[in-house]
Chain A
Amino acid sequence: MIETTAAPFPTIRVRPWLGRLAIAGSLIATFMALVWAPTDAVQGDVYRIIYVHVPLAWLAYLAFFVVFLASLGWLWTKRAWFDALAVASAEVGVLFTGMFIVAGSIWAKPTWGVWWTWDPRLVTTAVMFMMYVGYLLLRSLSTDFARRATRAAVLGVIAVIDIPIVHLSVLWMNSLHQLPTVLRAGGSPALDASMGMTLGICVIAFTLVYFAFLAERMSIELERQRRMFEARA
């Protein structure tokens, strides 16, 4: 039995405020990233790409972890609400992953001399991207709602294993990609205080963008579900 009478996602009510906060946060973050933060002694100004690359990467991890939790929620309760949360988070996660891969590639050219290399971090990230593109494609293979949601949820639970592999690949294997700068085991961030603060503001701004997109996309999905169930009734 599919449960469709769950209360609306609470953030839907604060959606307009989330959008405004996301825009304000993004403007402040972009100003700090491009103007306020000091120039790096080694890389010069091109390091400023870190302020979009790293937050997008972290938010992609978060988005796919939310897919994992929502997938468990669907498998456990069969509430359609969880399926809407999973597809919304997967879609935003794929967008963010695609953007941080391309931003990383643009950063790689002036620093490594190449747009792409078969580095463990890059390869595991590309695999993660393809897995979640596959997750979205899988959803279009069946018109039966429960079957589609269950198949997607199984993949959503399995695919989460790639998140720690991506993050730890630079420690497990020889990698051209730099080691973790902020989330380092047993050490403080290897980053100047003002750069760290700018990165923190950028993470907050992108987190607001993520939740604003999540609420909007989820609202559209819940509306689509409502129409589908009404048509069947």
Chain B
Amino acid sequence: MIENLGFIVAAYVLVWGGIAVYLISLRRRRANAGSTRN
């Protein structure tokens, strides 16, 4: 049994979850701004 597993999972979910949410936010802003991919 891994000690303090809940804390480890919470930290990683928070960080990668935060990155995923920011990525979604960027994608939405890009969609609103119109595609400029090159």
Q: Name A's B-contacting residues (CB within 8 A).
A: 8, 12-13, 15-16, 26, 30, 34, 44-46, 48-49, 52-53, 56, 92, 95, 98-99, 102-103, 106-107, 109-110, 209, 213, 216-217, 219-220, 222-224, 227
A49 touching B38 by the CB < 8 A rule? Answer: no
Q: Closest Cβ of chain B: how far from A49's Cβ, in Å?
A: 5
7 cross-chain CB contacts under 8 A: A15-B37, A46-B7, A49-B7, A49-B12, A103-B11, A106-B10, A217-B26
Q: Closest Cβ of chain B: how far from A99's Cβ, in Å?
A: 5
CA distance A43 to B4 in the complex (A): 10
* Chain B contact residues, majority secondary structure: helix
Q: Closest Cβ of chain B: how far from A142's Cβ, in Å?
A: 21
CA distance A8 to B4 in the complex (A): 47
A99 touching B15 by the CB < 8 A rule? Answer: yes
Q: Which of A13, A30, A34, A220 is close to B29, meaning CB atoms less than 8 Å apart?
A: A220
Q: Which residues of B lie under 8 Å from residue A92 when comparing CB positions? A: 22
Q: Which residues of B lie under 8 Å from residue A56 when comparing CB positions? A: 15
CA distance A227 to B33 in the complex (A): 9
A45 touching B26 by the CB < 8 A rule? Answer: no
A46 touching B26 by the CB < 8 A rule? Answer: no
Q: Which residues of B lie under 8 Å from residue A103 when comparing CB positions? A: 11, 14-15
Q: Which of B4, B15, B29 is close to A45, meaning CB atoms less than 8 Å apart?
A: B4
